[in-house]
Structure 1
Amino acid sequence: MNWMIYVYVVAMAGVCGLWTYFNFSRTYRSNLKHRLDPDKVGEWLNTSSSCPITSDVLVNKETAQCITQTKNNEHKKLGRLPGGMKLPGVAVLSPGRNEGNHIGKTMPALCEQKYDGQLRVVFIDDDSDDHTETVCAELIEEHKNLTILRNQGDLPRGWVGKCWALARGYEKLKEVETEASKRGIESAELICFTDADIHWKNQCLQGAVEHMMRNDADVVALFPTLKFGSTSEAIVQLQLMLALGVFYPFDKAMDPKHPDTLTTGAFILVKREWYDRIGGHNAVKGEVLDDIRLGITLKTAGAKVQIAMSGGLLWCRMYEGWWDMWEGLTKNAFAGLKYSYLRAIGLFGLTIFGTVLVPVYVIISLMLLSMNLGSWWAWCGSILASGAWLFQTRMMNAIRKMVTLNGWYALTMPIGCGIYLIILSASIWHNQFGGNIWKGRRYVRPAVS
């Protein structure tokens, strides 16, 4: 009996050590620092500066250095662009399938951005079978900078739906720009990709372009604030937010020496020259996680990537209820592990023994303590198990505060992680036997090799 208690205490020391490391890891703390401040959008450039404010600001190293010097002169008053100068033109490409309930609000927000430059929006209706087409007919009459493309027909071999929609949307953009050039209107220098269910605040684009200029970046990816319509959505997606904060260091994702990065379909702003250089979405045409692969492809080609939390400038409800979340996550869960069974086994083991069973360890410790009141080992096991649960709850509490949820959500990590393992199991099963379904389309592994 004693040796079992000794082994148990050693295991508790490992679990507690794991959560102690997560709580004080540099990744967790540094990721929270990378965010845009909505209150400072448009206030970073000195109006009295002699910096040349032209579209060349995006590629001119001398200008970037001048901007940095201006930023460091804290005694000077900062303001918006002087003399009616304009920021580089931006074209926003937004694909959507069966998003009729969203685009009535999201598309006007895109078209009406408070942006000091030319803005064009292309919405790609990806063969929707809901009321999207009706909503599009109303939107096109109200917004002159909006172009709508109805993407119908079978997918070409080797393409996934969203990538094909964006490739078609880009070709449509070039057609529109060719006609506009006859009227002296220049083509966009920046391309922005955003999902059709993402809600933009009116300063979002301005803030992102300023962030790109300030950091002399070629790519900017923003993470939206999540909102939830049900308890199940919140419990599961909070675990994804925590995993992002613990396992995906933004500093490493932005480090040119590191091959991987972390871009999201909610918002990717890229210099057009770099997008053309990699061949557009043709470079990632078969990828289920096309947003991440697009960022990795751009970074591998030499583009400088910047990643940040949107600071409330973007928000979305990722899924509409339990079954919508089930479909979406089963599509992505195994793909997120790069279809590796070894990674899946490792994740199962770490999640079950290091997360899901932590409350059970506390109960077992209390039982051992009641049977061995004078046992030093029993006290150690109880303290370590309680410490692991405390640190686990502390991290979840920080995440739930970010999305302003009730305090009891801080206790939901074991439940949420357990549910996610069920979703991952289904993702692996469906991938092995027929593929995963998302919005009426089947995603199979051979198409995304």
Structure 2
Amino acid sequence: MTGSAAWLALLPALLLTGHTAVNARLLRRPRRDATTAERVAVLLPLRDEAARVAPCLRSLLAQRGVADLTVHVLDDGSTDGTAEVVRAVAGEAPGTRLRLHTGAPPPAGWLGKPHACHQLARLAGDADVLVFVDADVVLRPDAVAGAVDLLRRAGVALLSPYPKIVGAGRLVQPLLQWSWLTFLPLRGMERSARASLAAAGGQWLVLDRAGYRAAGGHAAVRAEILEDIALARAVKRAGGRIALADGSRLATCRMYDSWRELADGYAKSLWASFGSAAGAAAVVVLLLLLYALPPLAALVPGYALVALLAYLLGVTGRVISARATGGRVLPDALAHPLSIALFAWLVARSFHLRRRRRLAWRGRALP
């Protein structure tokens, strides 16, 4: 590569980091201390979550600013005493509107989580807004009201407020927010009717009930590993709009407690994130060239300055993303090349395990 070509190779990283900065300024954020008079149903699917569901439940029972709030909890075949924990926490606040339901096993053609969410949506009664949360999410007392308020102010049928990620995986987990801030045009996604231009995080989803029904609900995504993104696409296909938001000031999510949990969690879904093995390979190679190669290229005589600038552009993008979404800035951002390399390995491992039919989650085999 000639010297001028090497400098030209900086252009993609420069444009992408600039796009990260633009998206960070455009990112929607729920208001604090908002209120809503709408009927809201919070829906919590659980399967073997006894060890961590209590903080989530307590945060749901502490919600304020919602005049009509019901919490529906579905025990999806747990064997670890999850239902007993739910009853114990509910007993701490007698009179609260928390309902514990026993879920039915998923029928043929359904995966576990979509079926659990489908049952919960049917139990929500006449609610105007459905708020799906996972057991590892802890909400601030004004979180539900703020999210519902933003759903209406943005004029969308589905809002995905990303919580602040805590726990294991500091090298990999921040890539979630960084990826959509860097590669996804947020306002373009909101305006576009293209179903392929969609993103969402299933840890915390807020949906207009009518828009959810028009999209076919979770029945429309019954066999999807990434049911959150599939649901967002279904909403768009039905004519609804979707939006992402920074929910880091209102919610935390402890997805994994160890590297083993993280690796297994990513294995079950990464293979489905790119459409095909060829698509995954193209994305991984691009990321490695843009962000993992520069530290190695710095060792080649004559390319040290270009490589350093390329590295700093990647780090700058991570810094912007972390500041915009409540993440840790330093020293995590400095390890961006290593984060990309680990992500590439996780993608390869996901495809490998799927080919060998060794994927499972929560005791259930995955297709």
Identify whether the pair has TM-score above 0.5, normalized to the shorter chain.
Answer: yes
Equivalence for 1:294: 231
SS in 1 for 2:41: strand
Equivalence for 1:350: 286
Partner residue of 1:271 out of 208, 221, 225: 208
Alignment pair present for 1:148 and 2:100: yes
User: Counterparts in 2 of 1:405-444, with a 5 A limit?
Assistant: 405=328, 407-444=330-367
Q: Is the 8 A contact 1:31 1:250 kept in 2?
A: no
**Deviation readout 1:243-284 (Å, 9 max, x if unpaired):** 121112221221143333222212222221222223321111
Equivalence for 2:221: 284
Equivalence for 2:10: 16
Alignment pair present for 1:33 and 2:42: no
Q: Is the 8 A contact 1:31 1:249 kept in 2?
A: no
User: Counterparts in 2 of 1:371-390, with a 5 A limit?
Assistant: 378=302, 381-390=303-312
Equivalence for 2:83: 133
Equivalence for 2:249: 312
CA distance in 2, matches of 1:400, 1:91: 31
User: Counterparts in 2 of 1:55-94, with a 5 A limit?
Assistant: 87-94=37-44
Partner residue of 2:186 out of 250, 271, 279: 250
Equivalence for 1:217: 156
Equivalence for 1:398: 320
Q: Is the 8 A contact 2:114 2:218 kept in 1?
A: yes
**Pairwise CA distance, 1:324:** 0.7
SS in 1 for 2:200: coil
Aligned length: 363
Q: Is the 8 A contact 1:36 1:308 kept in 2?
A: yes
Equivalence for 1:71: none
**Pairwise CA distance, 1:214:** 2.1
CA distance in 1, matches of 2:30, 2:66: 18
Q: Is the 8 A contact 2:40 2:66 kept in 1?
A: no
Equivalence for 1:63: none
Q: If you compute each CA radius of gyration, which structure gives the higher value, 1 or 2?
A: 1
Structure 2 unmatched runs, 5+: none
Q: Is the 8 A contact 1:252 1:258 kept in 2?
A: no
CA distance in 1, matches of 2:226, 2:353: 17
CA distance in 2, matches of 1:335, 1:35: 27
Structure 1 or 2: larger helix share? 1
Partner residue of 1:194 out of 130, 133, 137: 133
Structure 1 length-normalised TM: 0.76
**Deviation readout 1:28-84 (Å, 9 max, x if unpaired):** 422443232544x33xxxxxxxxxxxxxxxxxxxxxxxxxxxxxxxxxxxxx7xxxx
SS in 2 for 1:390: helix
Alignment pair present for 1:110 and 2:103: no
Structure 1 unmatched runs, 5+: 1-6, 43-79, 81-85, 175-186, 369-377, 445-449
One-letter amino acid of the structure 2 residue matched with residue 352 of structure 1: L
RMSD after superposition: 2.1
Q: Is the 8 A contact 1:400 1:409 kept in 2?
A: no
Equivalence for 1:52: none
Partner residue of 2:115 out of 164, 181, 189: 164
One-letter amino acid of the structure 1 residue matched with residue 364 of structure 2: R
CA distance in 1, matches of 2:99, 2:316: 47
Structure 2 length-normalised TM: 0.92
**Deviation readout 1:171-199 (Å, 9 max, x if unpaired):** 3344xxxxxxxxxxxx2111111112111
One-letter amino acid of the structure 2 residue matched with residue 386 of structure 1: L
One-letter amino acid of the structure 2 residue matched with residue 393 of structure 1: V
**Pairwise CA distance, 1:329:** 0.5
Q: Is the 8 A contact 1:287 1:293 kept in 2?
A: yes
- Compared with structure 1, are the counterparts of its residues 9 and 349 closer, same or farther at alpha carbon in structure 2 (3 Å cutoff)? farther
**Deviation readout 1:299-326 (Å, 9 max, x if unpaired):** 1101132321114111111212101101
One-letter amino acid of the structure 2 residue matched with residue 223 of structure 1: Y
Partner residue of 2:69 out of 119, 123, 127: 119
Q: Is the 8 A contact 1:400 1:407 kept in 2?
A: no
CA distance in 1, matches of 2:260, 2:236: 35
**Deviation readout 1:355-389 (Å, 9 max, x if unpaired):** 2221111122xxx2xxxxxxxxx3xx332112111
One-letter amino acid of the structure 2 residue matched with residue 293 of structure 1: A
CA distance in 2, matches of 1:269, 1:199: 15
SS in 1 for 2:316: helix
**Deviation readout 1:287-346 (Å, 9 max, x if unpaired):** 0110111111011101132321114111111212101101111111111112x1221221
SS in 2 for 1:139: helix
SS in 2 for 1:315: strand
Q: Is the 8 A contact 2:199 2:244 kept in 1?
A: yes
- Compared with structure 1, are the counterparts of its residues 278 and 291 closer, same or farther at alpha carbon in structure 2 (3 Å cutoff)? same
Q: Is the 8 A contact 1:164 1:285 kept in 2?
A: yes
SS in 1 for 2:252: strand
Percent identical pairs in the alignment equals 23
